[in-house]
DNA sequence: GATATTTGACCAAA
DNA sequence: TTTGGTCAAATATC
């Protein structure tokens, strides 16, 4: 992680780092506060969405992931506050980032070969393995011994064009109505597709970073559409839920009437949230003030945070998450 | 015709 | 020898 190495430089180098240590403590303090606020927000959101089925579940999952992201950051920062990470609940709508080295053997059967490239950089368990912000091309499928489902091999679509070495493996790890997939990521993206698309995404809204936002029309509509139906539905619920949580239920409904298609729905939701005013800056500290009105869910100043978190995708994926949906 | 997916074969690590 | 990862021809789709 870039933050880790950067902070490592900041905090290393002996005892003359009082300024950096102060920054370090400030970061830990803010992360801790963020996690506490997320917990409060989660409680309020769940109360507001009680009885709303999937919306409630999605909101719970999102905020759980946000909370987990704070915990991960606290762990990276070496804070005792991040010591006991919350046990991962089974995800239902978003990828749950888990420790790859710890979890891979049990789910994948025999241990992987110890080639350098074979060490996964990231691992997630998700019902939507195709939406992770990058474009992938399948190049193989293999039945793995002692596993029920075959493993699919994908490489970055820019493998040839730009020599990108990023690959991923997708393997179903549970069946049922909501199958879960274990996704392993190998090598970093060198295609820089995220950076290349950033202006385009920024021109819309930051919520376009949502996994699966239709920034790139698929070349082959049939297969992709079919595979994306469930994920499209998840996105609609996700966007709707988050917009309600962030902007207030009434506001969202007024500003974002039902869209004819999911992409438009996502865009509408994004626009509804993006019109929030700039964060209020605290006069004393010069820092953006985070005022959480848990009654009215006034989280305007949380907008930047939510966009940055991108529901864990900024943390969980190689390159900090990308902008090109599958 | 161009591009993506499927699938059996091949190769290399253990 | 077994197993996992990749290649490449065949096939499918637009």
CB distance under 7 Å to strand B: residues: A 113-115, 137-142, 152, 157, 219-220, 223-224
| B strand bases under 7 Å from protein CB | 3-9, 13-14
Whether residue A253 is predicted with pLDDT greater than 80 in this model: the reply is no
Place of tokens 């005013």: A277
Q: What is the mean pLDDT of chain A?
A: 53
For residues A165-169, give the mean pLDDT: 87
* Predicted pLDDT at A192: 63
Confidence label for A141 from pLDDT (cuts 50, 70 and 90): very high
* Predicted pLDDT at A51: 61
* Predicted pLDDT at A295: 32
CB distance under 7 Å to strand C: residues: A 109-110, 112-113, 117-118, 139-140, 142, 144-146, 151, 153, 167, 169, 186, 220-223
Whether residue A28 is predicted with pLDDT greater than 90 in this model: the reply is no
For A41-84, what is each residue's pLDDT tens digit?
666 666 666 666 556 655 666 666 666 666 666 666 665 555 43
Residue nearest to nucleotide C2 (CA to C1'): A145
* Predicted pLDDT at A62: 62
Q: Could you tell me which residue, A146 or A40, shows the higher pLDDT? A: A146
| C strand bases under 7 Å from protein CB | 2-8, 13-14
For A185-224, what is each residue's pLDDT tens digit?
888 777 765 434 433 333 332 323 233 333 333 334 333 3
Hey, how many other C-beta atoms are within 10 angstroms of the C-beta on A176?
6
* Rounded distance in angstroms from the CA atom of residue A323 to the C1' atom of nucleotide B1: 30
Whether residue A113 is predicted with pLDDT greater than 70 in this model: the reply is no
Residue nearest to nucleotide C12 (CA to C1'): A223
User: Domain locations in chain A?
Assistant: 97-190
Whether residue A165 is predicted with pLDDT greater than 60 in this model: the reply is yes
Whether residue A119 is predicted with pLDDT greater than 70 in this model: the reply is yes
Percent above pLDDT 90 for chain A: 3
* Rounded distance in angstroms from the CA atom of residue A221 to the C1' atom of nucleotide C14: 8
CATH topology assigned to domain A97-190: N-terminal domain of TfIIb (2.20.25)
Burial A48-61 (b: 16+ CB within 10 A, else e): bbeebebbbbbbbb
* Predicted pLDDT at A188: 79
């Amino acid at each position: 992680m870039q933050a880790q190495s950067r902070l490592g430089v900041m905090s290393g180098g002996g005892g003359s780092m009082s300024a950096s240590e102060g920054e370090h403590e400030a970061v830990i303090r803010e992360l801790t506060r963020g996690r506490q606020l997320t917990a409060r927000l989660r409680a309020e959101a769940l109360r507001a969405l009680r009885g709303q089925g999937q919306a409630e579940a999605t909101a719970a999952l999102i905020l759980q992931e946000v909370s987990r992201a704070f915990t991960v950051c606290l762990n990276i920062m070496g804070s005792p506050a991040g010591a006991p990470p919350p046990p991962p609940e089974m995800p239902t709508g978003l990828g749950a980032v888990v420790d790859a080295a710890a979890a891979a053997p049990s789910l994948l059967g025999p241990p992987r070969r110890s080639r350098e490239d074979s060490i996964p950089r990231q691992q997630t368990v998700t019902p939507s393995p195709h939406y992770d912000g990058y474009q992938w091309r399948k190049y193989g499928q293999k039945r793995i011994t002692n596993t029920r489902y075959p493993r699919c091999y994908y490489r970055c679509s820019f493998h040839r064009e730009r020599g990108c070495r990023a690959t991923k493996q997708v393997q179903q790890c549970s069946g049922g109505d909501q199958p879960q997939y274990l996704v392993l990521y190998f090598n970093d993206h060198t295609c820089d597709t995220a950076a290349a698309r950033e202006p385009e995404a920024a021109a819309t809204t930051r919520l376009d970073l949502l996994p699966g936002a239709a920034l790139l029309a698929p070349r082959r509509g049939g297969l992709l559409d079919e595979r994306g139906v469930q994920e499209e539905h998840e996105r609609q619920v996700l966007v709707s839920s988050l917009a309600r949580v962030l902007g207030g239920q009434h506001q969202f409904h007024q500003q974002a009437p039902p869209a004819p298609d999911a992409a438009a729905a996502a865009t509408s939701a994004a626009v509804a949230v993006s019109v929030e005013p700039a964060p209020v800056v605290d006069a004393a500290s010069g820092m953006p003030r985070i005022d959480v009105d848990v009654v009215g869910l006034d989280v305007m100043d949380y907008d930047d945070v939510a966009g940055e978190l991108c529901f864990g995708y900024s943390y969980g994926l190689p390159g900090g998450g990308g902008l090109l949906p599958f």
